[in-house]
Amino acid sequence: MTPRRIAAALAFTLTLTLTLRAGDWPQFLGPNRDGTSPEKVAPWGGELKPAWKAAVGDAHSSPVVAGGVVYAFYQPKGKDADALAAFDAKTGQRLWEKSYPREAYNPAFGAGPRSTPTVAGGKVYTLGNTGVLACWGAKTGEVAWKVDTLKEFKAPNLTFGVSGSPLVYDGKVVVNVGGKGAGVVAFDAATGKPAWQAGDDSASYSSPIVAELGGKPTVVALTGAGLVGLDPATGKERWRHPFKDLLQESATTPLVADGLLIGSSVTLGSVALKVGEGKVEPAWKAAKLNCYFSTPVAAGTGHLYMLNGKLSINPTITLRCVETATGKVKWEKPDVGKYHAALVRTADDRLLMLDDGGRLVLFAADPGGYKELARAKVCGPTWAHPALADGRVYLRDEKELMCVPLN
């Protein structure tokens, strides 16, 4: 397959058939699963006011937007269940809400799902914190199939619950499972039947991606053992790099930037890998660039922007601009949040940052220094990632889903 055909296949698979538009945000970290948006965002003046709000159940799951519909995944109040609801993106009208029962589960930091839905091919795919992978009709919410992945593959749950968001590629749904012979599993998107199983790695909280590496489309997963590259068609392992977090809390999504594969964790910091035909080698490692669960974003020319945590009784995160090729820190801004802040790169190389206190900040992707362009308090405490679509930010806090126009 030529590079042009590979790129076309990737673009086709990550494009949705449910009347999606260029501004949609159909999965975790956006259209390309890398925290980037095709939209431009101008600095705003004064406060930002929501166009609408809707009460939703407990979750750290992020909203997604597809075909003028916003989807939210959560635990209904007072029920041991996973629920999916659809809302009109402009008005906030609740179009439907469906749910299925699941086992009781009450980990620290909330009992609702952490995983973000993926919309593809007229379906919505969700992964609950007890490991139930489900396929819902995007228009009706009817469940087409569901699989209890932990029971099916005899895999243990994680301390804070299953958290990785489903990857939909080439007619398959790929998730971290963590079972023996089923470290990473691909399911047929139409039927839910296993398509392939790969490795014995324990699961992590991270979400897999697909990227062209070594001249081939490759599924990349940050498992409990390290970064692994898999053949999307068969699950055959092409390469791996050990990267085992000492707290077993790897939660960031792998990122490909300027020809390097970037991985981050809580205790190991970050690593940049050069990936060739069947092999990998580190370009750099940096222990201080440790990420809790905020995925770095590439912006501008040759630079990464990331949120690094400080492990202490009083946790705090620091925003850093890092040279992609070397890992060298160009500048940093401390105390921008407690545990987490989410980053979105705009089409005009600006960055939106939503911190865990509910403050939305727009700043320039400038390696010369931090340059803030606008700021507003938009919601209550949140660990969810915002979705940017049609000039609006869709986000959720501990109580509500909301739409905040930026222009």
For 121-174, what is each residue's pLDDT tens digit?
999 999 999 999 999 999 999 999 999 999 999 999 999 999 999 999 999 999
The strands making up 297-299's β-sheet, listed across from edge to edge, are: 297-299, 303-310, 316-323, 329-337
Domain count, the chain: 1
- The pLDDT-based confidence of 313 (bands split at 50, 70, 90) is confident
Of the chain, the end-to-end C-alpha distance in Å amounts to 43
Q: Which two tokens stand for residue 387?
A: 């979705």
Task: Supply the pTM of this predicted model.
Answer: 0.94
Q: How many H-runs (helices) and E-runs (strands) does the chain carry?
A: 2, 32
pLDDT digits (tens, 9 = 90+) for 334-372: 999 998 999 999 999 999 999 999 999 999 999 999 999
- The pLDDT-based confidence of 22 (bands split at 50, 70, 90) is low
The candidate with the shortest Cα–Cα distance to 153, out of 124, 187, 126, 128, is 187
Q: Which of the 8 DSSP states describes residue 159? A: T
In the predicted structure, residue 16 carries a pLDDT above the cut 60: no
The strands making up 400-405's β-sheet, listed across from edge to edge, are: 52-55, 400-405, 392-396, 387-389
Q: What is the CATH number of the domain that holds 277?
A: 2.140.10.10
Q: Report how far residue 365's alpha carbon sits from residue 362's, in angstroms, rounded to the nearest whole number.
A: 10
Domain that holds residue 295: 3-405
Share of the chain above pLDDT 70, in %: 95
